[in-house]
Amino acid sequence: MPTIKELKAELAKSNAKWTVNTQLADNVQIPQYRLGGKTELLTKFDKVAPINFKTLLSTPINNPYLLQRRIDKGFITKAAVSETLLSGLRIGQEPAGAPPAGGPAPAVIDWRNRFGWPWITTIRDQGGCEACWAFAAVALVEAMVRIEHCVWPHLSEGDVHKGMGAHCCDCGNPGNALNWMKDHSIADVGCYPWPANTAWCTGCGGTGGDPYNNIAYNPTNDRSGRSVRIPAYQNIGSVADQKNWLDTVGPIVTGFTVWKDFFGLGSGIYHKVNMLGPNTPNTIAGGHIMLIVGYDDGNQCWIVKNSWGATWGDHGFCRIGYGQTDIDSWAKIGLVGTNPDPWTKRRLHNGNMIESGNGSNHRNFEMLSTAQGGKIQHWWRDNSTAGLPWHKGITFGGPDVAVCPTLTGTTYNRNFESVHLTSNHRLHHWWFDQSGGAWHDGGIFGPNDAAGIPGFIQGNFGAPGNFEVVVRTADSKLNHWWRDGGGWHDAGRFGANIAYSGASLIQAHYGKQGNFELVAVTSSGQMQHFWRDNDKGTWNTGVTFGTGVASPPCMIEGQYGAANENAVGNFELCVAVGGKIQHWWRNNNGDGAWRNSATFGHDVRAVTSLVEGSFGFNLEVIVLRTDNKLQHYWRDGAGWHEGVIIGNA
């Protein structure tokens, strides 16, 4: 291969619109990267019928920005969207950064930052394997989970690649990977990762002597509950349809013929050059599959996410001129209707309500409350139906339920699991079997002097992840319990002068093991932040904030402030003070200070749950009123709103 210096000279001769990667020294040869795309298996663009977007997008999406775009472009009528959904998604209030209503498609779309939010997961590296087809397919699913459900996923290319039985040097096409995911779903990286090191393949069909080929596919045994489910993919033929898709749905997978100059790309807009050096013609290296995350009509190019690591191109991304090296010769691939798993959503809910994957749009609310006779009442809100109605489910358990249970979704086949304080000062576990549709008694455990609302999560330790519970005890301390395959274990007590514990235990992104974060209320009426350094297994006392608090708090780690799937989001906390709700948040990517952003509501005794769900990063709160009824409040970009009274607690 010619040197970088020689390639630069050829670019200067041809007045190229792009520059060589600045991280490459002049005296080194143009690098090579693995490809893997069997572009001959892709569908030609002219073999795909035009898409009827009105039919495809007839169901209102919960992402407010895209719903607005679909209304603007006439793909769905405003009359087809319920008034409740319109209000909840703030239609009629133009989102920041959106094009004018009724206007043409934007001249530039870039899903890395659109509507003021990031939507694309971090750049990955396929290493020495011919696996671009798997990486591009996974990147598409990750993007659509983020866009459709407003949560960062972190999915595993290794789960797909090895699950399909592929070897390191096996080329493929993204359609086969997406078909496998449709039939088997796709798990997160903790369930089965992409190998850290792979040998260099000798090309499609080669052996390369790669030890990767001998690695067994052995995902964790809770894979069924920690994997995203997807429907069939959609081929998109014409460039007009592709741009409409990027505008109103999301990113698309593309095929591409790689010429060897592409390996040296840095910034600018890629157009193939004829020569690599004074005596070396440019030649084809092979087929490649990538993810288009946007376009730029002014510069006549696609914006593309590659899988060669963040040191290639423009931090792992690039811009490719329209029509260049067959990029518009094949149909591109899109996806609608992802169904995230509880593991992906686990930081976004706390208290007696979660957002499950149930319902046709995979976003129903599930809630537990107390019922007469010391029993538990299951409620659910159909978030796929006009009016977003609440329904009563079954009543179960009892007669020992003292307060609203703390509910979560788990990796045990997506089961719901709850823990509540009993009237006998113990803790009681129940679980809902998704396959059988029934609640089951998980048994009584914990201290003999429990005296508060339990914080309850499924944590990082173990596979499946251990259950973790923290609850106030009668000696005004906090007691930590955890469950693995051997049952429940007492991890000891910490803290002092605790007046109220709440559903405020989080498995955060902090630390190598992911620290536990917790807020309780002290006898002085202040909230006390605790955190456990999970690398050392020790609880630490953080700052105090707030005054006059005499009720349990509820806390989550949300999506605000999280720039990608690996970043920590802000903590969001709601608590009842003086009959109203206070919303607090902690800037986890700045000064780390707690701030009271709003006080709202009326006749509130306690906050029972806090959720950041699929409705455009909205916060959803359930409160216990002074008349013993449960009421819903929610926050969008316009502020906090009073919702319906659901029923008796």
Question: Does residue 100 register a pLDDT over 70?
Answer: no
Task: Check residue 207 and give its pLDDT.
Answer: 67
Q: Any residues with CB less than 8 A from the CB of 582 and at least 6 apart, and which?
A: 546, 574, 575, 576, 596, 598, 599
* 179 secondary structure, DSSP code: H
Question: Does residue 95 register a pLDDT over 50?
Answer: no
Q: pLDDT class for 98, splitting at 50, 70, 90?
A: very low
Task: Check residue 101 and give its pLDDT.
Answer: 40
Q: pLDDT class for 205, splitting at 50, 70, 90?
A: confident
| Contact (Cβ atoms closer than 8 angstroms) between residue 392 and residue 338 | no
**pLDDT above 70 covers what percent of the chain?**
96
* 544: Cα separation from own chain's centroid: 31
* 94 secondary structure, DSSP code: P
> How much is the average pLDDT of 247-262?
97
Task: Check residue 96 and give its pLDDT.
Answer: 41
Alpha helix ranges (H) inside 307-460: 342-345
> How much is the average pLDDT of 513-520?
96
CA distances from 461 to 5, 225, 344, 482 (A): 50, 16, 16, 10
User: Where are the chain's structural domains?
Assistant: 33-49+104-271+278-334, 341-445
Question: Does residue 447 register a pLDDT over 90?
Answer: yes
Helix, strand, coil percentages, rounded to 5, for the chain = 15, 35, 45
Task: Check residue 83 and give its pLDDT.
Answer: 56
Catalytic residues: 288, 306
- Token pair 């709202």 is found at 600
Smallest CA-to-CA distance from 518 within 481, 571, 559, 584 is with: 571
With H, G, I as helix, E, B as strand and everything else as coil, classify residue 260: helix
- Residues paired with residue 352 on neighbouring β-strands, in sequence order: none
User: How many whole angstroms separate alpha carbon 352 and alpha carbon 481?
Assistant: 19
> How much is the average pLDDT of 86-98?
43
Class of domain 33-49+104-271+278-334: alpha beta
pLDDT tens-place string over residues 145-170:
999 999 999 999 999 999 999 999 99
**pLDDT above 90 covers what percent of the chain?**
86
User: How many whole angstroms separate alpha carbon 513 and alpha carbon 136?
Assistant: 29
Sheet holding 349-351, edge to edge: 349-351, 604-612, 619-625, 629-636, 639-648
Q: Any residues with CB less than 8 A from the CB of 12 and at least 6 apart, and which?
A: none
pLDDT tens-place string over residues 365-389:
999 999 999 999 999 999 988 888 9
pLDDT tens-place string over residues 167-182:
999 999 999 999 999 9
Looking from the CA of 569 toward its CB, the CA atoms found within 13 Å total 24
Task: Check residue 86 and give its pLDDT.
Answer: 56
Question: Does residue 91 register a pLDDT over 60?
Answer: no
Which comes out higher in pLDDT, residue 488 or 67?
A: 488
Q: Which of 139-143, 367-371, 386-390, 618-622 has the lowest mean pLDDT?
A: 386-390
Rg (CA), the chain: 26
- What are the structure tokens assigned to 367, written together? 């809630």
| Contact (Cβ atoms closer than 8 angstroms) between residue 442 and residue 430 | yes
User: How many whole angstroms separate alpha carbon 151 and alpha carbon 609?
Assistant: 18
pLDDT tens-place string over residues 3-57:
999 999 999 999 999 999 999 999 999 999 999 999 999 999 999 999 999 999 8
- What are the structure tokens assigned to 282, written together? 């440019």
User: How many whole angstroms separate alpha carbon 649 and alpha carbon 646?
Assistant: 9
- Token pair 């510069």 is found at 299
Q: What angle do CA 635, 640, 645 make, to 5 degrees?
A: 90
User: How many whole angstroms separate alpha carbon 345 and alpha carbon 148?
Assistant: 13
User: How many whole angstroms separate alpha carbon 544 and alpha carbon 416?
Assistant: 33
Q: pLDDT class for 90, splitting at 50, 70, 90?
A: very low
User: How many whole angstroms separate alpha carbon 375 and alpha carbon 30?
Assistant: 70
Which comes out higher in pLDDT, residue 202 or 249?
A: 249
pLDDT tens-place string over residues 291-307:
999 999 999 999 999 99
- What are the structure tokens assigned to 189, written together? 């990286």
> How much is the average pLDDT of 501-511?
95
- What are the structure tokens assigned to 565, written together? 């799937």
Looking at every residue in the chain, the average pLDDT score rounds to 93
Q: pLDDT class for 465, splitting at 50, 70, 90?
A: very high
- Token pair 């530039």 is found at 108
Neighbours of 17 (CB within 10 A): 16
User: How many whole angstroms separate alpha carbon 78 and alpha carbon 68?
Assistant: 9
